Structure 1
Amino acid sequence: MESVQVLCCLCGLPMTYSQAKMCMNCLSLRATITDTIDKEQTLEICRYCDRYNRPPWLSAKLESPELLQICLSRIKGLSKAKLIDAAFVWTEEHSRRIKVRITIQKEVENTMLEQQCIVNFVVNDTQCEDCQRSFTPHQWMAKVQLRQKVSHKRTIYYLEQIILKNHYQKDCLGVKPKKNGIDFHFGTKAHAQKFIDYIHSAVPLQVKMSKELISSDPKSNTYNYKFTFLAEIIPICRDDLLVLPKSQRIPGLGRVVMCYKLASLIRVLDIRNFRTGEIKSDRYWKQPFHVYAGREWLEEFIVLDIDERSEMHEDEPNRLKTVEVEVARSNDARFGETTYRVKTHLGNILRAGDTVLGYNLENMVGHGLETESFDDCPQVVLVKKIISKEEKQKPKIKIERIAEVEEEPDFGEFLEEVENDPELQSQILGEPSTQPTEIQLK
């Protein structure tokens, strides 16, 4: 059946017959379908965690799909029409205003009419329930005590940067620095366990849990507890010299090894043949052993000569290069009179004239352990290269703290390490990981 053509009763233009007897332009001018839309709305945002109240409280960036969904859910009267399109209208970032242009469709006198309108949102500051609890003492229900029993806090500082970069502390109500660690307070036990899982996937931990009854109702059989998790990091750091007990020996490696990396496993390097091995954290906690020598035993050496013949360790991600070098102690009164010719795994980065840190085993053997463990060991074990002033780069990162604390002497040493270690800078500056990844402890 052919459509009947008639003239619009207002403008006289030909049109397809409809009960309104008006063309779409005239109908749009006389009928308004956006009157039911409330064009002035408010959005609540927490001034501390920057989350919007939908409810529940949700995180969203400006002009993101998540924020658009929150805005649409706040528009009153939108359910009486069909939403066709929605988009943001640009506003200055600090204006505390958000504008959304919506296109709706509605039937008027048996004719589908489509119109646009702009809804203005005023952003008001408030405080969410989680932040309110964080400012109220004794409101936490679970506490994670992160500890490491060593003489310095550089490992804690580095772990603090990883937590900040990946936002692992987002569910935390409060942070309190301690002498040898940090306390994290959470509103629920589940948030505390989730935080421990993040850290456990990156560092060797031993977790012990205790609980304290705070209230009970025997009639309804309900009990409220406060949970405390003691998360103890393994007391070993990178560059530490270890003498493995006989029960912890690794096939193919001697008893004297150096920890060259700490992640979810303890990764060690034989100081004689430079083979690598791993010790699982649960194996360590079953039979713990102490560090034989830490960084306080490191001495400075100057590289005098490097043998061109070298070996490559293809199984290593960084491909350790073993070379033979001649070194001398930098603080000797007669520099160069006593030299040491040893092998090292730092062949990829060492050049003649470089300054390196190392262990002088001649001065260390016998302070508490049997000397036969050091048979066939080199006189000097080189650990790391010291970056010269010419090679130093200006710091490219701004170190943030997870809580306001007084200046600590160990933190200055950590800042210097960040400045001199490009690998450490990339780990702190890199993009946040969606999955927990291994981190290299300092």
Structure 2
Amino acid sequence: MFGVQQHNAPGHVLCCMCGVGMPPNPAGMCVDCIRSQVDITDGIQKQCTVLYCNQCARYLQPPRHWIRADLESKELLTFCIKRVKGLGKVKLTDAGFIWTEPHSKRLKIKLTVQKEVLNGAILQQTFVVEFVVEWHMCDACSRAAANADQWTACVQVRQKVEHKRTFLFLEQLILKHGMEANTIGIKSQPDGLDFYYGSRSHGLKLLDFLQQVVPVRARHDKQLVSHDANNNTYNYQYTFMVEIVPVCKEDIVCLPHKVSLGLGGVGPIMLVTRVGASFQLTDPSTLRQIWVAADQYYRSPYKPIGSAKMMTEYIVLDIEPADMGRQRAGKYLLADVQVARLADFGVNDVILHAKTHLGHHLNPGDTAFGYDLASLQIVDPELEKYKHGVQLPDVLLVKKSYQEKRRRRRQKGVGRGWKLQRMDIAEEEAAGGAKGAREEERRANDEELFMQELEEDEDVRAQVQIFRDAAAQPRAAAATNDDEDDDDDDVPEVPIECLLDELSLNRRVDPDVGGGGGDEYDEDDGDEYEEGEEDEEMAD
């Protein structure tokens, strides 16, 4: 006989509320009836208020902590989720922003939650939470707006040199690591900068950062501002004095006799080749290199006997590696060189002989900057303490020169295709007349030398952020295409792969609204930000 094939199909039951057929579940009701009977979002806050400081673009995380977060960012989403009360009773499965107008003072997030209801049935529901943004100035901005001089901590950074190239480099390091974020104000001084903070801890944070990037020594002091005898509270103003070692890159120094003996008999004439948390001294005649820390320097301080403004330009007549090219130290190669002053070239037959550490960089016909030790009047009593005397070379070359090639490129209209960020520094009142013009010229010259150093030294370039200048690129490309001369192609430039694009989402202050009240945001297309992760801890 024919067999009967049985199928194990899932059965259907009727909903106890509406009688509709449905797959069986522990509740005995269909999904629509469960939703009509149970609301898992009951008890969850649907509308919240957040405080926003429109001066520094930070949100208040109670009780007193202010955090910085961009619109529709992961940090702002986490901050908003933590402000919603009642989420602990349900399981959060999804969260995302719903786009709102930037000036509406409203933030909306869409949350998806799950909860077990009615005998083990799991119900999922989506709802919207609206946040009202109220403007409220933080304590630091209130203090700065009321009186800019009411600071709590001041970090005074000083360096007793004739230029400010060190502070230009330090400014880029501060911007890269975000150390200027908590400042009330930054003021320029003749020999340095003053950083004002509303908290002592912020001043100590900058002090620790400076000790890690430049050779410094520091001391601190405090002054009593007010005292409440009833509560036994004191208000102090803290001042941190930071002094940077007055030795810069490309300077030459004369080591004291005791220091030279302690370092193994190097020197006495040394060239400063690198500056970081400590500075590197190189003997161009032997390629011996030593690192000197700030505390070691201040035990026996010495000043430079020559700085960059005293350098002379030379033309290389002949160069040959010394000792068959076996004396090397990193990127340096010891070589014997014959040079003549560029100003005297073709006028007289004076040829200068010396050893140089630039064997890898110089070729006959190149120009180089160096110190004319034969005509440089070195008045240093430490030189007289050496028993056998010191035989100074005629010239000490420092670096290869590209001045003439850069001048020709400027005449062609070829500019730099990059730019640097700058801090908001309150400059001192400029003097009028010839003195003011000299100060402006000196400032422009320092900036130009710093930019040339970024182009020539990749070690320095790696420590700063360089941004692409979209306005300068078309001009540079046009000037390059118009001229087919390739003689200036060896001029060092910042590689295009080292350039960064500026962020497309930037906060800027509306100039039509006083007090920085109107913050505008550049947005791509207003796309909705969706975040599929669960609530996570936010790093303060």
Q: TM-score higher than 0.5 here?
A: yes
TM-score (norm 1): 0.85
CA distance in 2, matches of 1:114, 1:34: 10
> Which residue does 1:206 correspond to in 2?
217
Is the Cα contact below 8 Å between 2:172 and 2:465 reproduced in 1?
no
- 1:47 equivalent in alignment to 2:54: yes
**Aligned CA distance change for structure 1 residues 245 and 86 (closer, same or farther; 3 Å):** same
> Which residue does 2:420 correspond to in 1?
398
Residue in structure 2 matching 1:116, options 109, 118, 126: 126
Residue in structure 2 matching 1:34, options 22, 29, 41: 41
**Aligned CA distance change for structure 1 residues 94 and 344 (closer, same or farther; 3 Å):** farther
The share of aligned pairs that are identical, in percent, is: 33
Structure 1: segments with no counterpart, 5+ residues: 432-442
- 1:395 CA displacement: 4.4
> Which residue does 1:279 correspond to in 2?
292
Residue in structure 2 matching 1:362, options 348, 354, 374: 374
Is the Cα contact below 8 Å between 1:328 and 1:336 reproduced in 2?
no
CA distance in 1, matches of 2:462, 2:326: 25
CA distance in 2, matches of 1:191, 1:44: 23
- 1:269 CA displacement: 0.9
Is the Cα contact below 8 Å between 2:252 and 2:307 reproduced in 1?
yes
**Aligned CA distance change for structure 1 residues 301 and 314 (closer, same or farther; 3 Å):** closer
CA distance in 2, matches of 1:357, 1:60: 48
CA distance in 2, matches of 1:10, 1:270: 95
Is the Cα contact below 8 Å between 1:208 and 1:229 reproduced in 2?
yes
- 1:417 equivalent in alignment to 2:424: no
Deviation larger for 106-115 or 255-264? 106-115
After superposition, the C-alpha distances for 1:309-332 in whole angstroms (9 at most, x for unaligned) are: 66366653xx31222222211112
CA distance in 2, matches of 1:57, 1:416: 39
**Aligned CA distance change for structure 1 residues 296 and 70 (closer, same or farther; 3 Å):** same
Deviation larger for 89-98 or 416-425? 89-98
Letter paired with 2:344: D
> Which residue does 1:440 correspond to in 2?
none
Letter paired with 2:423: R
CA distance in 1, matches of 2:25, 2:171: 72
**Aligned CA distance change for structure 1 residues 305 and 42 (closer, same or farther; 3 Å):** farther
**Aligned CA distance change for structure 1 residues 366 and 67 (closer, same or farther; 3 Å):** closer
Higher share of residues assigned strand: 1
The count of residues paired between Structure 1 and Structure 2 equals: 425
- 1:148 CA displacement: 0.7
Structure 2: segments with no counterpart, 5+ residues: 1-9, 431-438, 468-540
- 1:376 CA displacement: 3.2
Letter paired with 2:93: D
CA distance in 2, matches of 1:353, 1:45: 63
CA distance in 2, matches of 1:146, 1:395: 31
> Which residue does 1:141 correspond to in 2?
152
Letter paired with 1:59: R
> Which residue does 1:257 correspond to in 2?
270
**Aligned CA distance change for structure 1 residues 398 and 201 (closer, same or farther; 3 Å):** closer
> Which residue does 1:437 correspond to in 2?
none
> Secondary structure of the equivalent of 1:156?
helix
Residue in structure 2 matching 1:289, options 274, 299, 302: 302
Letter paired with 2:352: Y
Residue in structure 1 matching 2:311, options 270, 293, 298: 298
Residue in structure 2 matching 1:339, options 351, 360, 364: 351
> Which residue does 1:60 correspond to in 2?
69
Matches within 5 A, 1:125-274: 125-135=135-145, 136-217=147-228, 221-249=232-260, 250-274=263-287
CA distance in 2, matches of 1:293, 1:156: 20
Is the Cα contact below 8 Å between 1:83 and 1:102 reproduced in 2?
no
> Which residue does 1:384 correspond to in 2?
399
Deviation larger for 336-345 or 268-277? 336-345
CA distance in 2, matches of 1:18, 1:125: 49
CA distance in 2, matches of 1:217, 1:42: 35
After superposition, the C-alpha distances for 1:208-241 in whole angstroms (9 at most, x for unaligned) are: 2222122234566543322211111111111111
Is the Cα contact below 8 Å between 1:272 and 1:377 reproduced in 2?
no
RMSD (Å) for aligned C-alpha atoms:
3.1
Letter paired with 2:52: I
Is the Cα contact below 8 Å between 1:153 and 1:410 reproduced in 2?
no
Deviation larger for 217-226 or 270-279? 217-226
- 1:12 equivalent in alignment to 2:20: yes
Residue in structure 2 matching 1:100, options 106, 109, 130: 109
> Secondary structure of the equivalent of 2:246?
coil
- 1:95 CA displacement: 6.3
TM-score (norm 2): 0.71
After superposition, the C-alpha distances for 1:111-153 in whole angstroms (9 at most, x for unaligned) are: 4422112334454544322222233333212211111111112
CA distance in 2, matches of 1:123, 1:220: 35
More relative contact order, 1 or 2 (CA 8 Å, 6+ apart): 2
- 1:363 CA displacement: 0.3
**Aligned CA distance change for structure 1 residues 14 and 274 (closer, same or farther; 3 Å):** closer
Residue in structure 2 matching 1:325, options 330, 333, 337: 337
**Aligned CA distance change for structure 1 residues 46 and 220 (closer, same or farther; 3 Å):** closer
CA distance in 1, matches of 2:50, 2:229: 43
Is the Cα contact below 8 Å between 2:95 and 2:112 reproduced in 1?
no
Is the Cα contact below 8 Å between 2:321 and 2:334 reproduced in 1?
no
Is the Cα contact below 8 Å between 1:312 and 1:320 reproduced in 2?
no
